[in-house]
Copies of this chain bind each other. A is one copy, B any other.
Amino acid sequence: MSRSRPTSLSLSRRDLRFLLHEWLRIEQLGSRPRYAGQTADVYDHVLDLAERLADDLFAPHLRISDLNEPVIENGEVVLPSQVRDALTAFSEASFMGISIDEELGGMQLPLVLATAVSAWFHAANTSTAAYAMLTTAAANLLIATGSEELVRRWVPPLVEGRFFGTMCLTEPQAGSSLADITTRAEPCAGGAYRLFGTKMWISGAEHEIPENIVHMVLAKTPDAPSGVRGISLFVVPRFLMSPDGTVGERNDVLLAGLNHKMGFRGTVNGALNLGEGAYLPGGEVGAVGYLVGQPHQGLSYMFRMMNEARIAVGVAATAVGYTGYLKSLAYALERPQGRVGNRSPTSPQVPIIEHADVRRMLLTQKAYVEGGLALVLFCGRLQDDVWSLGSEAEREDAELLLEILTPIAKSWPSQWCLAANSLAIQVHGGYGYSREYDVEQHYRDNRLNPIHEGTHGIQAIDLVRRKISFREGRAFEKLCLAIRVTISRGEEQGGEPRTLARLLNDAVAKLEAVTTHVRSTSQSDAVLANATAYLEATGHIVVAWMWLEQFLVAQHGNEAFYEGKRQAARFFFRYELPRIGPLLDRVNELDRTALDMDVGWF
């Protein structure tokens, strides 16, 4: 059977139709009060618009942003003009507030749909899409934790895209250790605060696209207890606001320098100095900030946002992997080289997709990126359940599952969709290593995702230290139960679904046994030494589950698309799932090899 070049090289609408409609049945959400009146047609229309904007306005400047990093000229951060144009169109299409309540200016669409939309923009140009992601995250954080006044004042301009948002957590001396931040916030007249300190690795730290930038900043008040329990959250705008809502003078927030990265170059990133008095000659120094919610609750507030941001990283990683897959597929369909079967040099060369190893590399990518997309959409769907289900028990079930899936949804695509990008390069051969083709940039861009919003190792610690024991282990139980529901459906069908279901069942049984051991041991140091192995094994089991789900939906389809889904599922079960064996063996033994490696022995 032949295959023509895919129509879009960002994502596949056919796959989204399958995942959103045939599998997740998002049109059923319209029966819930939060999404009342929304139909499949509405959702398709939104996806049409996203696809068009992403492919027409985001994708074309992918390389331009890579080649023209943000620079400071005359004291201003300069970005390629296409970034502004793309984000303006994005805001005008109301995508900043796609899942935010209508009463705050949003579209109040399901998060599962917003996730698909976000994926399309990240696939087209992840470093431009990142500005939007941060802005939506800032708005959501304020909505969830801010006072009515703060929300009224700051959220609508974020939703409209007039203001952008940032997250200011880490500091040069603190890195992942937020207990060690030293930025201080001193109360001043009128209930506001003055902030002093340096924030590091701030994406979107400063630029001229929006009227204002709303920094969400972690800092410590003078009376704060030491460590993470003393952290409070503040809104610190780039420009102060006049009482009438117009943008006023510069706040005491100074861009201290830009970071130059391997990839993701279109997203300006730098350090911010708060309270240096740079813009206030003779005036009062200290960056003006407004406390969000209660004092000393900043970390728990930020974690709320971080769960969202972590899944958003998973979405971005998946999307960048997905576009690399489609581009390498298009290349493999068109590039003639070598022969298969008839190797006579006088016969014509064949497209490289005919070579078994190239097909393996494409199928591996397909298994990774479609598996990742299923996982992050499933998480979006769970968030919709948390927001919109009628029964509290059902809402709690969804919440538990979402909690435990969050480190997986962040780390798994960051690891394996990056691996997909490496395979996309490999399919291109020497051309893949050349900057004439996009895939090398995708590989560089995607390498950020295992680092930011909590490194791979931090996700592993989150899973083994917090999530598997979350609410007395109920989140983990919920996960196993949910997987077993799918397994039972497979078992009942007999035949191939039963074969796959039994493989998954063995894997889950093994994971449960290991988890019981991990939760009951007193050797917490050995658990930490094997946390990454545990995370990676769990991730592969979860994605195998996603593939069994897809297999069951695609089971009786005759269309080539369904054949492809079934074959990718088989591939994942045969070539990928078995990786968990050695990983879980080491976790189960609480292997101490890394732990016992004395520092002096290196």
Contacts and interface: CB of A to CB of B under 8 A. Distances in A.
Contacts of A339: 177
A528 B359 CA distance: 11
Chain A interface extent, by class: 35 or more
Contact of A451 (B361, B430, B599): B430
A344 to B, nearest CB: 7
Contact of A591 (B226, B564, B574): B574
A390 interface: no
Contact of A595 (B177, B335, B359): B359
Interface of A: 1-3, 170, 173-177, 179-180, 200-201, 226-228, 259-264, 329, 333, 335-339, 344-346, 349, 353-363, 366, 422, 425-426, 429-430, 432-436, 440, 443-444, 447-448, 450-452, 455-457, 460-461, 525, 528-529, 531-533, 560-561, 563-564, 567, 570-571, 574-575, 578-579, 581-582, 585-586, 591, 593-602
A575 B586 contact: yes
Given A262-B444, A525-B356, A567-B601, A345 B434 contact: no
A600 B356 contact: no
Contact of A345 (B228, B448, B532, B563): B228
A273 to B, nearest CB: 18
B349 A201 contact: no
A174 B337 contact: yes
A221 to B, nearest CB: 15
| 3 closest cross-chain pairs (CB), A and B | A1-B600, A227-B345, A578-B582
Nearest to A533: B575
Contact of A578 (B173, B200, B460, B581): B581
B601 A560 contact: yes
B435 A455 contact: no
Contact of A567 (B360, B461, B570, B597): B597
A433 B262 contact: yes
A58 B595 CA distance: 36
B444 A356 contact: no
A598 B354 CA distance: 9
Given A180-B345, A451-B430, A574 B586 contact: yes
B176 A429 contact: yes
Contacts of A593: 363, 567, 570-571, 574-575
Residue with the greatest number of chain B CB neighbours at <10 A, chosen from A200, A228, A344, A359: A359
A371 to B, nearest CB: 15
Given A426-B455, A571-B597, 15 more contacts: A174-B337, A175-B429, A179-B338, A180-B349, A226-B345, A226-B346, A261-B433, A262-B434, A356-B528, A357-B528, A422-B447, A433-B448, A533-B575, A563-B600, A567-B593
A292 B416 CA distance: 47
A176 B349 CA distance: 12
A555 to B, nearest CB: 15
Residue with the greatest number of chain B CB neighbours at <10 A, chosen from A200, A349, A429: A429
B440 A455 contact: no
Contacts of A260: 434-436
Contact of A599 (B354, B528, B571, B574): B354
